[in-house]
Amino acid sequence: MQLPQFTELHATQLSTFLDTQPEAMTLSQSQGYLFGVICSPEPLDVHEWIAQILPNTTDNLDEEVLFLFMALYHQISEQVFEIGYKLPTQYSFDFCKSWSEGFLTATTTYTQKLLTSEQLEAEYKDALESAQATLSFFALGEDAITTIAAQNNLGLQSLCLQQYELMGDFALGFAELIEIVALNSDLYTDEGWDE
């Protein structure tokens, strides 16, 4: 069966469904999470990433909902690898916080694995840490971000807009950065992770 193009209507349907599920990620958390999963050098099976988004419900997931998730995954994957990943044009703190939380959930394990590689040169570690910090910035929460803004003599909105713009820039090249870092870490080959 061909996956449908993921539309605004699909986004609304999926968001409504997620809101009714206990312990489920929100749609924006799911988007950040799937972005991180898609960029991973260690791909997850569909059932593995669905289980993260929807704990305790994967066994009885409606086929229509599964196809919506698959269409969302396909859309994000296509953006990451073909047309360039784009965050929404309008900044929203709530979206950014949720997206960053999902992204952090997906990437922490593999970025920590890469950062602890003894083979990885400092420049690659710095680039990866910078990208990770930028894309997960809003997961810090409003209090921490307010403190950072005050320490840098910036208004909260001004700092958030700057960070959102940086997120967009880093999101465009994150998959490529992960591939380069992974190959230079000696933990990863074109065949997959060396165990």
pTM metric for this prediction: 0.94
**Residue 9 predicted with pLDDT over 60:** yes
Tell me the per-residue pLDDT of 139-188, one tens digit each, with 9 for 90 and over: 999 999 999 999 999 999 999 999 999 999 999 999 999 999 999 998 88
CB distance 6 to 74 below 8 Å: yes
Find the CATH number of the domain harbouring 162: 1.20.120.740
Does the residue 45 lie in any domain?
yes
Residue range of the domain that includes 55: 8-193
Cα(150)–Cα(160) distance, rounded to whole angstroms? 12
**Site of tokens 């074109």:** 190
For the chain, percent of residues with pLDDT exceeding 70: 94
Does the residue 65 lie in any domain?
yes
- Overall domain count for the chain: 1
Does the residue 3 lie in any domain?
no
Does the residue 73 lie in any domain?
yes
Could you give the 3-state DSSP secondary structure of residue 189?
strand
Residue 59's pLDDT band, with cuts at 50, 70 and 90, is low
Tell me the per-residue pLDDT of 77-100, one tens digit each, with 9 for 90 and over: 999 999 999 999 999 999 999 999
Does the residue 32 lie in any domain?
yes
CB distance 106 to 37 below 8 Å: yes
Name residue 188's beta-bridge partners.
Answer: 193
